[in-house]
Structure 1
Amino acid sequence: MTNSNYPQTGIIILAAGNSSRLGQAKQLLDFKGEKLLQIAIDIAEDSLSDVNLVVLGAYKEQIKNEIDFQSCEIVTNENWSKGLSSSMKVGLSAMIENYAVDQILIMLSDQPFVTKELLNLMIKTQLESRKGIVACRYGDTLGVPVLYTKKYFEELMQLKEKEGAKKVIFNHLEDCEIIVFERGKIDIDTQEDYDQLLGKKA
């Protein structure tokens, strides 16, 4: 959904990993009748973002066969095994090259309780606070979803392979607005995580 009252926002959904601890593509796990990646794509499409982009890698062909990508662009990270930051940089590079965005919002494909309301709140919070970063707090950390204005694009592109985008948050806490999102700590890395999500006994 495009809204001219807000800065041009691009959402990057990171969905390139091979879910090594789970043993199958967590992007395609079902939750409440939808696949996790489809949930993320649909939420992004319903938000105040202007363009949405998904970064694929492992399981790329399988995912393409099972997910509706009509509302977003796909880019591929051939080096997905190098970690999340490599996928983030592939997505950010595509955003910079193809779209005149003022800011990006980074999402994962396995945080099932992210909502369009949360994404919209992050976009509105940036506009009101004028901060360069809007991050979510859950547990004892800050993390995704996270919004960065374009003044941080270069720093994000310079992250080393094993450094996550979280490093940029902590480098600039004075320029970071924080939104409490306790359910953000729920992500799916193992079968036990998935069983708990579905309400099954471990």
Structure 2
Amino acid sequence: MTPRRTLHHFPLDPASRQARLALGEKRLDFDEVVVRYWEPNPEFEALNPSGLTPVLVEETDRGQLVVCETRAILDHLEETAKGDALLAPSAAERAEARRLLQWFDKKFDYEVNALLLHEKMEKRLLRLGPPDMPAMRAGREALRRHLGYFDELLQARDWLAGRRLSLADIAAAAHLSVLDYFGEVPWRDYPALKTWYSKIKSRPCFRPLLADRQPGIPPAEHYDDLDF
């Protein structure tokens, strides 16, 4: 029996977007429940006591499986779902994809998202006042360092981890697309990265992300433009 899948997520959460992109790339249907993670939610916390998104629930006639948070969801889909693999047959490319996954979910999240997304999004959601400009400058400087590194990789590769699309590209697209929603990615300064983003932005799995809108926080004008 094909599982009925429900993804509990927040649309502008990079972690949630990784799960959505992986599900889309594997052409898996799923229902969505949007979680306002900054508000008390006993039902969601019963699924994941950490309170963190995303959470994937699969239901079959044999029962329910709850898979909590990004890495567990990505690994679960790679192990169980049909469709194109998101880790290459090559051991070297698999290792490189996993290295870059760690890069985005730890280093990039700490050095960039914890500043830019906190100041531009979370403060508004939590009503914590205006953005702190020194924190914004530090986040933008860190972002440019990361973008320069990714651009160098893509000058020599078709995709971030090598010759084929992988979970590394899913992670990168998830993180960068949220920053792009806020107009924070200076694409013209990183032509190889911009070409890569054009490719992944045009894939069917990406279309639902381009329709995301957070009430009170409109996207940058170019956000859903494929010819950005």
Structures share fold, TM-score greater than 0.5: no
Larger % of helix: which? 2
**TM-score after normalising by structure 1:** 0.31
**TM-score after normalising by structure 2:** 0.29
Larger Rg: 2
Larger % of strand: which? 1
